[in-house]
Amino acid sequence: MSEVFKGSFTQQEPIPEDAIAAAVAVMRHGRLHRYNTADAEVSETALLEQEFAASVGAKYCLAVASGGYAIATALRAVGIGHGDRVLSNAFTLAPVPGAIAAVGAVPVLVEVTDKLVIDLDDLATKLDKAKVLLLSHMRGHICDMDALMALCDAAGVTVIEDCAHTMGAAWRSTPSGRHGAVGCYSCQTYKHVNAGEGGLLVTDDPAIAARAILLSGSYMLFDRHLASPPAAAFEKLKYETPNISGRMDNLRAAILRPQLRALDSQVARWNQRYHTLEKGVQHTPGLTIVERNPNEHFVGSSFQFLLRQWTTAKVDDVLSRCKKRGVELKWFGAAVPSGYTSRYDSWRYADITALPKSDQILAGLVDMRVPLTFSIDDCSLIARIIREEVSSVFQQS
């Protein structure tokens, strides 16, 4: 009888006990708003910002309501507004081009490679089309950041990094989010720290940091931030920067601070599971594993593989067979958006032009979440199921 996986692909681990205790303490004193503090009290949110900035080596950090809000705020803070064009890779999730559209700008999409990273050759041909690149490290895949920054610096293009899937990751020894002018991170349930929703923004630029803090809804309480520029950075900006409130609250910050301290150990656990899956599907007929660059220290919180040149019917067959055996796979080649997954040509508010290289890759791209509630044995079982079903369908070709 065929093996069946009975776990959940959406069940996260419980919030750690020390984070629960910290959240209860905030609820007991009732001061959830980040600027509602007692005498001499430093808010949980300000402490989270200070600690996260230190963890990635940034001068400034801002905690906000979501990763998408962090990206939109970063775009505004670097000067993007209505009608501006912003480059971004075609393989990402809808909140990335959505953040561009939210500030009235137009996404201009760049091809992706079979390593699932931005195509630097295509980027080079488009750098004259925009002043900002919003680079998505989609599903934790990091491109050659040295080469990318050399291209963008030479062209005068500002880089904002979407690190929703790369908190805890690095290129060489530099943390993800620290190559560009701004790094943006997500604290949504399926990311590497879990507050349900939430976002973090880091930068070394005092003007960008000051604008972001004012945009987030600091009023004139910016002096209550620990990871912020000096008061002089706000002096002119406070009169010309709109309040677009999107602050993080102390309850979410209290939940996140202990998780941040445990991030390195969580990354190691994710990568154990990733490597188990990778080893388990190696040499499967018709299946291509996505190669990782040795300079990329990634976080294996999701797993991707390619079914190159497969028909839609056969990809659907694999997904259906795996689902019957309890393995939930997502496909980025579907013509119609489904759940969290959508193809770039469904973002009709973007500047859509044909991207044949990306089309070919997305047509065979299969994706899977890897929650830490999976054991190593679970991952071995999942890999066996994928291997068996892909092999079975491939042999019918």
User: How does pLDDT run across 248-297, given as a tens digit for each residue?
Assistant: 999 999 999 999 999 999 999 999 999 999 999 999 999 999 999 999 99
Encoding tokens for residue 348? 């009709």
Encoding tokens for residue 10? 């959406």
Encoding tokens for residue 88? 């971004």
- Read off the pTM: 0.97
Contact 211, 76 (CB under 8 A): yes
For the domain with range 264-394, which CATH number is right: 3.30.365.10, 2.30.30.100, 3.90.1150.10, 3.40.640.10? 3.90.1150.10
Decide if pLDDT at 348 tops 90.
Answer: no
**Residue 147, C-beta contacts closer than 8 angstroms, at least 6 positions apart:** 120
85 vs 107: CA distance, rounded Å: 6
Residue corresponding to tokens 């509630």: 373
| CATH 3.20.20.70 correct for 17-261 | no
Instruction: Using DSSP, state whether 65 is helix, strand or coil.
Output: coil
59 vs 181: CA distance, rounded Å: 12
User: How does pLDDT run across 34-46, given as a tens digit for each residue?
Assistant: 999 999 999 999 9
Quick one: pLDDT band at residue 339, thresholds 50, 70, 90?
confident
300 vs 369: CA distance, rounded Å: 9
User: How does pLDDT run across 189-242, given as a tens digit for each residue?
Assistant: 999 999 999 999 999 999 999 999 999 999 999 999 999 999 999 999 999 999
Determine which helix (DSSP H) or strand (DSSP E) holds 75, and give its type and residue range. Answer: helix 67-77
Once rounded to an integer, what is the mean pLDDT over residues 110-116?
Answer: 97
Where along the chain do its domains lie? Answer: 17-261, 264-394
pLDDT of residue 217: 98
118 vs 122: CA distance, rounded Å: 8
